[in-house]
Structure 1
Amino acid sequence: MATREKVDVIIVGAGASGSVFAAVLAKAGKKVLLLESGRDWQLGDLISSDFWGRRIKTAGAPFLLEGKNAFGYSYQSGWGVGGAALHYFANLPRLLPNDFKVKSEHGRALDWPISYDELAPYYDKVAKDIGVSGDAKAEERWRPAGEPYPMPPMKTFRHGEVWLKGFEAAGIRMVPAPVGMNSTEYKGRPACIYDGWCHIGCPTGALSNPLVTYLAEARNAGAEVRARSTVTRVLTNKEGRRATGVEYYDARKERHVQEAAVVVLAAWSAQNPRILFNSASERHAKGLGNASGLLGKYMMCHFSSGTWALFDEDVQNYLGTTGSQFMSYDRYGKQSHQGVFGSTFIVAGSALKTSDLGGFANARLDLFGTELAAFMKRAARGLTRIGA
């Protein structure tokens, strides 16, 4: 076992959250160390191919989707430096004021201990930090006014525009979707080339992933990133009242102890509880930070659904961005429908490569030969979708 020199801060996980902590603390003069289980990816590793792109996503056991043409599909969480933000769609809509008052306004769940007004300045700050393209003024029909986005909206394409007439007929107002992508050059990073490969990583730096935003700032300020380092436990003092460091294993499966004044867990909503449960001790028999017994419980996520359509025309589905072109909060008011409570957020105009998930999801297992070839030819240019 090796014991490393003590640092000011250990951050477990070098993804979207961990990189923000690292940038702020390193620029404040702290000695920061990020421990990341996966590889140390570089922009050059983000190759525009669904098959190569699988390297930056966890392999994991596939889960089965139900329906007429069910298929197995592995979950697209992140793996490596940059985390899931290496290949996220970069859609960056905001919560609305009513999201913070679910208990007081609807008698469900709990209110947030903060309000939208308290959070709003940080929304504006992050938009400038990473670069967001959109039309803030258009969004103000639904949310309080704030700072304008640093870049104008992204270019639109037919696979998004084709839905607008239908939305108008349904009385649903659509506006440009805010995305963490460059519609123009920003902070030395180039504008998007609209090749539609955002979902497996952007090698040009036009998409605001951690490698070109907060993580780059952290490294420039002296933060160290130690890849292939899997944290197993948080260590504490004898009284169990203060974290003193972590235990981790390197790529050679050798055990290390790293001491620190502060430990930040930023390893995703599933891995953080795993580490804390594994940090059980005489003082914390049920797991570190689990005196309430609620560790790992009450996790919430959002559910998404999609409607796919085939058009006879070429809707340019292979161009644009994986992030949506248009969005609407018109159906966002909290409501119950058939026993389900929540909001509906609508998006349209996401670029689609029919070679991987999009292709599988719309596969016709009942077709073969010339009929299958004809369907594939049509889908490759005429398939598009909306989501909610």
Structure 2
Amino acid sequence: MANEKVDVVIVGGGASGILLAAKLGQAGKKAVILEMGPPLALDDLVSSQIWSRRLKWGGVPVVSEGRNPVAHNFQSGWGLGGAAMHQFANWPRFHPEDFRVKTQYGRGLDWPISYADLRPYYDRIQKEVGLSGDHVAEVWRPAGDPYPMPPIRWFRQAELLAEGFRKIGMRTAPMPLAINSVSYNGRPACIYDGWCEAGCPTGALVNPQVTYLPVAKKAGVEIRTGAYVTRVLVNAKGDRASGVEYYDKARERREQHADVVVLSAFSASNPRILLNSANDRHPKGLANSSGLVGHNVTAHITFSAFAMFEENTENHMGTSGAFGMSQDGYVKDSHPGFGSYTWTIGVAMKPNDVLGFANSRPQLFGNALHEFMKRASRGLARIGVQAEELPNPENRVVLSDRKDAYGFPLARVIHGLDENSMQLFDHIRSEGDRIVKATRAKETWTNPSPGLAHFLGGTVMGKSAKDSVADGYGRTHDVANLFITGGGLFPTIAGVHPTFTLHALTLRTADYMAKNWGGIAA
């Protein structure tokens, strides 16, 4: 069954899809968002480790394989607002060299755009949604407008950890956060209860429910939840997208036709949709003349070091992201293992789950764990790292032999860290050990193996169909009215969280689409 044709259909109601819809709606375009998950509102967000899992991936299975499988269920989202509903809100900018890694260092890939191209969109986004930070103290920060709010409050944990950085000669600064330190744009200041990972019911933390979703609704954007998109449809010639096929809440097959189609879904879902859209004209999958759809999947390498103090670190207070940061090791070739990384200083911790006290000592059980938890609840502190993995075509999304309820192959993600990534991890682990040992802590330890965060790549942008799937605006090289937004476009991922850059990149695409609509939709 077909619905009334619209100007643009956007697949995925996460951060990039909702932002794009809001801006195109304001430009007078009739837009529809198709979101696979359920509707959400601030009232649905409960500060609980169990309830927070309702915000994590609940869609069709994603098959994860390889030496270092990507934990997609933790990184992705479920419901209207996507992963941004449980983001940690660490929002540093990429550096200029992050956009030209291949040109400057002879490794990785280049972006088809520069920092100068994206800077005005960083500035616009931080003003529209509100960022807290200290651009002067953040000595590594590239050029840009000052943050609109002062940094958040530091609790004792951050103060004690920052001392360790200083003692070994490393600089620190407040982490730029998409969290209100004061009231901003009608949203309240943070209450520092440390439940960001479970979603922020007060609206102090930036998420689509309090930023661009109200704008989209006011602009007349239609939102359909429970809409599971399986394929992009094309015209008779096979050279233009004509809409999408999806299944609704009643499991009925439907078609949504549109002048322009945008894939704004999870980074594992967009390649799957394109590969499942193969036809006679596009036998390898839609927008895949390069053969690169699904390839160059990347994830940030993560690491934690811990310090146990005899004083109260107030470790249950603050934010899930970080109080502070250090980028003294950001220059990619200044240390063993090529790549940038950012230290995060202090996070709010709860008893269990990913950032929990118990997870810092997974080898403990029984009475030993009980005694540790009593000490940790008062004295534990943590530093962490987001480190850059270089793109590797062998890290990829392909179609699985397993199929969904409608007969479509699932996404199969193959991922492993290479020798360079392990060298970088070893360097970071050694540096982290030095930092926590330089504090006044009575006991310190580090994670023995790397973790992974942020599922990126798979539909990377570039200058031509020879080396990429889409151009610098996310417009696919092969199908002129098919766009992609989100982290799947990133050719390289820098050494910082991706969410700020994802927003800036999407805003740039929205401007381009609104200004050039006649040529795109024709």
TM-score by structure 1 length? 0.93
1:360, distance to aligned residue in structure 2 (A): 4.2
- Residue 213 of structure 2 corresponds to 215
Residue-by-residue CA offset, 1:220-240 (whole Å, 9 max, x unaligned): 111111001000000010111
Is contact 1:182–1:207 with CA below 8 Å preserved after alignment? yes
The residue type paired with residue 347 of structure 2 is: S
For residues 38 and 63 of structure 1, the distance between their equivalents in structure 2, rounded to whole angstroms, comes to: 21
- Residue 397 of structure 2 corresponds to none
Which stretch of the first structure deviates more once superposed, 32-41 or 296-305? 296-305
RMSD over aligned CA atoms reads 2.0
For residues 133 and 198 of structure 1, the distance between their equivalents in structure 2, rounded to whole angstroms, comes to: 15
The one of 361, 372, 375 equivalent to 1:375 is 372
- Residue 303 of structure 2 corresponds to 305
The one of 148, 163, 166 equivalent to 1:168 is 166
Is contact 2:57–2:72 with CA below 8 Å preserved after alignment? no
1:365, distance to aligned residue in structure 2 (A): 4.3
User: 1:61/1:311 Cα in 2 relative to 1: closer, same or farther (>3 Å)?
Assistant: farther
Q: Secondary structure at the match of 1:264?
A: strand
Residue-by-residue CA offset, 1:260-279 (whole Å, 9 max, x unaligned): 11110000211000000111
Is contact 1:62–1:73 with CA below 8 Å preserved after alignment? no
1:97, distance to aligned residue in structure 2 (A): 1.2
Q: Is 1:153 equivalent to 2:151 in the alignment? A: yes
User: 1:28/1:355 Cα in 2 relative to 1: closer, same or farther (>3 Å)?
Assistant: same
Q: Is 1:110 equivalent to 2:109 in the alignment? A: yes
1:76, distance to aligned residue in structure 2 (A): 3.5
For residues 62 and 163 of structure 1, the distance between their equivalents in structure 2, rounded to whole angstroms, comes to: 38
The one of 230, 234, 251 equivalent to 2:228 is 230
Q: Is 1:263 equivalent to 2:261 in the alignment? A: yes
- Residue 381 of structure 2 corresponds to 384
- Residue 191 of structure 1 corresponds to 189
Equivalent residues, number: 378
Is contact 1:97–1:143 with CA below 8 Å preserved after alignment? no
The residue type paired with residue 121 of structure 1 is: P
The residue type paired with residue 356 of structure 1 is: D
1:336, distance to aligned residue in structure 2 (A): 7.0
Residue-by-residue CA offset, 1:74-104 (whole Å, 9 max, x unaligned): 5341011000000000000111111122112
1:309, distance to aligned residue in structure 2 (A): 2.1
Is contact 2:132–2:147 with CA below 8 Å preserved after alignment? yes
1:361, distance to aligned residue in structure 2 (A): 1.8
- Residue 347 of structure 1 corresponds to 344
Matches within 5 A, 1:2-17: 2-17=1-16
Q: Is 1:21 equivalent to 2:24 in the alignment? A: no
1:107, distance to aligned residue in structure 2 (A): 0.8
- Residue 239 of structure 1 corresponds to 237
For residues 198 and 329 of structure 1, the distance between their equivalents in structure 2, rounded to whole angstroms, comes to: 23
The one of 276, 287, 290 equivalent to 1:289 is 287
TM-score by structure 2 length? 0.70
The residue type paired with residue 3 of structure 1 is: A
- Residue 177 of structure 2 corresponds to 179
Q: Secondary structure at the match of 2:267?
A: helix
Matches within 5 A, 1:79-94: 79-94=78-93
Is contact 1:231–1:248 with CA below 8 Å preserved after alignment? yes
For residues 362 and 36 of structure 2, the distance between their equivalents in structure 1, rounded to whole angstroms, comes to: 38
Is contact 2:43–2:201 with CA below 8 Å preserved after alignment? yes
1:61, distance to aligned residue in structure 2 (A): 7.7
Is contact 1:234–1:245 with CA below 8 Å preserved after alignment? yes
For residues 296 and 372 of structure 1, the distance between their equivalents in structure 2, rounded to whole angstroms, comes to: 42
Identity level (%): 54
1:362, distance to aligned residue in structure 2 (A): 2.1
The residue type paired with residue 93 of structure 2 is: R
For residues 311 and 288 of structure 2, the distance between their equivalents in structure 1, rounded to whole angstroms, comes to: 57
Matches within 5 A, 1:106-145: 106-139=105-138, 141-145=139-143
1:366, distance to aligned residue in structure 2 (A): 4.1
For residues 138 and 312 of structure 1, the distance between their equivalents in structure 2, rounded to whole angstroms, comes to: 30
- Residue 202 of structure 2 corresponds to 204
1:364, distance to aligned residue in structure 2 (A): 5.0
Is contact 1:315–1:383 with CA below 8 Å preserved after alignment? yes
Is contact 1:62–1:74 with CA below 8 Å preserved after alignment? no
Q: Is 1:335 equivalent to 2:333 in the alignment? A: yes
For residues 163 and 353 of structure 2, the distance between their equivalents in structure 1, rounded to whole angstroms, comes to: 29
For residues 118 and 153 of structure 2, the distance between their equivalents in structure 1, rounded to whole angstroms, comes to: 29
User: 1:289/1:164 Cα in 2 relative to 1: closer, same or farther (>3 Å)?
Assistant: same
- Residue 69 of structure 1 corresponds to none
Is contact 1:137–1:145 with CA below 8 Å preserved after alignment? no
Residue-by-residue CA offset, 1:205-250 (whole Å, 9 max, x unaligned): 1010011101221111111110010000000101111111100001
Residue-by-residue CA offset, 1:297-355 (whole Å, 9 max, x unaligned): 112222111112222221111001112111121110012755x3201211102111122
For residues 73 and 113 of structure 1, the distance between their equivalents in structure 2, rounded to whole angstroms, comes to: 27
1:146, distance to aligned residue in structure 2 (A): 1.8
For residues 358 and 125 of structure 2, the distance between their equivalents in structure 1, rounded to whole angstroms, comes to: 35
Q: Secondary structure at the match of 1:268?
A: coil
The residue type paired with residue 89 of structure 1 is: F
Is contact 2:329–2:335 with CA below 8 Å preserved after alignment? no
Q: Secondary structure at the match of 1:154?
A: coil
For residues 94 and 144 of structure 1, the distance between their equivalents in structure 2, rounded to whole angstroms, comes to: 8
Matches within 5 A, 1:46-85: 46-59=45-58, 75-85=74-84
Is contact 1:131–1:182 with CA below 8 Å preserved after alignment? yes
Unaligned runs of 5+ in 1: 67-71
For residues 265 and 312 of structure 1, the distance between their equivalents in structure 2, rounded to whole angstroms, comes to: 51
Unaligned runs of 5+ in 2: 386-522
User: 1:61/1:98 Cα in 2 relative to 1: closer, same or farther (>3 Å)?
Assistant: closer
1:373, distance to aligned residue in structure 2 (A): 2.4
The residue type paired with residue 241 of structure 2 is: A
For residues 73 and 249 of structure 1, the distance between their equivalents in structure 2, rounded to whole angstroms, comes to: 23
The residue type paired with residue 174 of structure 1 is: T
Is contact 2:135–2:141 with CA below 8 Å preserved after alignment? no
- Residue 45 of structure 1 corresponds to 44
Q: Secondary structure at the match of 2:148?
A: coil
For residues 278 and 373 of structure 1, the distance between their equivalents in structure 2, rounded to whole angstroms, comes to: 50
